Amino acid sequence: MGRTMGRWLGAILVVLVVYLLLWPVPIEPVAWMAHPAPPLVGDFAPNRLLQGMELFPTPKTHAPEDVAVDGDGRVYVGVEEGQILRYSPDGANVEVLADTGGRPLGLDFDVDGNLIVADAFKGLLSVDPEGTITVLCTDAGYDPFGFTNDVDVDSQNVAWFSDASYKWSIDEGLNEALESAPNGRLVKYDINTGKCEVVLGELHFANGVAVSPDETYVLVNEMMRYRTKRVFVRGPKAGNVEVYVDNLPGFPDGISTGADGTFWLAIYAPRNAMLDGASDRPWFRKIIGRIPSALQPKADRHPFILGLDADGNVVHNLQDVDGVRFSMTSSAEQVGDWLYVGSVSEPAWGRILVSTLP
């Protein structure tokens, strides 16, 4: 009996090893070398400032990825269920403005007061104040958008937005993360002319987008390289690309421009040692893709927002190391003295007064 059991266990082990090493997976991971993660000290020292946020629930929905505020102070969020919710300025009353039938992610207003929406499935949309939806752009270059992500509209009515991946959809985001290939793009859409074109390709999980105060450059996050690039789009340096900030302590998600020129960078979660260790081991990332989702690396409940100056220096460090009330920070938008915060997991969005921050 013992020998039989041993043979069965040995056979199961062989099958398991063969499965983990050889079972086909759809990803083709790219080898790269992650820098050692910076320790959470100094500029990144843990704190609990985000525990002081005021939270506003999203009724019967969840994951308000981005937050936008109109000229009347009303607050807009897009939720996973496809709806765009509009709140009164005090957050006490909420209504459904529109339902895209997709997944609204990035939000911003154009110069005419229309809400421009980066919808992961539907592309770039415009929603007027009555909730009427117009499709603006669904492709640029040779590939249709696969994962339209974030958007920022400048004063010239040009929408700068990211396509996180032309290969994988938002439902296949883990594949994009594990593959870590240059499938992302920075795109611009001129609302005045209707022209849509790729500005920069070969980005690694293109995410948050922010236009500089003088509108000469655009910042775009590369989530799977822990960095933000600066793309010069106007002026004497137009066409140049440089790294704005590198080796971040977590996965950069949304980014926005504050009234005083501070760039607010939302970090989805701190870095994961297993994923960092697998950066130069594509075969190991294939193994991660084969194991059950319950055993795959999970993001920590650790909301994290950085305020950065024009040179990428940290001027604000907001965290909740305990993750007791909020997590998976996906956006941080400053309007007046309020910093509005979105999440890709919570059934609520939050806000905190900038003047109260150290």
Percent of all residues in the chain with a pLDDT value above 90, rounded to a whole number: 85
Please give the pLDDT value at position 12: 55
Model confidence at 135, pLDDT cuts 50, 70, 90, reads: very high
pLDDT beyond 80 at 99: yes
DSSP label of 154? -
Q: Give me 355's structure tokens.
A: 């003047």
C-alpha gyration radius of the chain = 21
End-to-end Cα spacing for the chain: 68
Sequence-distant (≥ 6) Cβ neighbours of residue 19 within 8 angstroms: 290
Delineate the domains of the chain, giving CATH numbers in brackets.
2-356 (2.120.10.30)
The pLDDT tens digits of the residues spanning 254-272 come to 999 998 999 999 999 999 9
| 175, 156 Cβ separation under 8 angstroms | no
Cα distance between residue 155 and residue 140, in whole Å:
22
Give pTM, 2 decimals. Answer: 0.93
Please give the pLDDT value at position 3: 64
pLDDT beyond 90 at 340: yes
Cα distance between residue 338 and residue 137, in whole Å:
32
Query: 192, 222, 72, 206: which is closest to 151 by C-alpha?
Result: 206
Q: Apex CA 200: angle with CA 230 and CA 76, to 5°?
A: 70
| 31, 280 Cβ separation under 8 angstroms | yes
User: What pairs with residue 115 in β-bridges?
Assistant: 109, 127
| 232, 253 Cβ separation under 8 angstroms | no
CB atoms under 10 Å from CB of 32, counted, come to 13
The pLDDT tens digits of the residues spanning 192-219 come to 999 999 999 999 999 999 999 999 999 9
Cα distance between residue 253 and residue 236, in whole Å:
29
Q: Which amino acid is at 227?
A: R
CB atoms under 10 Å from CB of 133, counted, come to 18
Using left for φ > 0, alpha for ψ between -120 and 50, and beta otherwise, residue 15 falls in alpha
| 116, 125 Cβ separation under 8 angstroms | yes
Please give the pLDDT value at position 298: 84
User: How do strand 304-308 and strand 263-270 relate by DSSP bridges?
Assistant: antiparallel
DSSP label of 37? P
Q: Give me 182's structure tokens.
A: 């240059």
pLDDT beyond 60 at 1: no
The pLDDT tens digits of the residues spanning 7-48 come to 655 555 554 444 455 456 788 999 999 999 999 999 999 999
Please give the pLDDT value at position 19: 42
Sequence-distant (≥ 6) Cβ neighbours of residue 204 within 8 angstroms: 180, 181, 182, 183, 184, 222, 223, 224, 225
Q: Give me 8's structure tokens.
A: 């069965």
| 237, 244 Cβ separation under 8 angstroms | no
| 205, 254 Cβ separation under 8 angstroms | no
The mean pLDDT value for 112-136 works out to 98
The pLDDT tens digits of the residues spanning 213-245 come to 999 999 999 999 999 999 999 999 999 999 999
Please give the pLDDT value at position 287: 86
Give me the chain's average pLDDT, please.
Answer: 93
The pLDDT tens digits of the residues spanning 286-336 come to 888 888 877 777 889 999 999 999 999 999 999 999 999 999 999 999 999
Residues in the chain: 358
Per residue, the 3-state secondary structure of 324-341, as one string, reads CCCCCEEEEEEECCEEEE
Model confidence at 130, pLDDT cuts 50, 70, 90, reads: very high
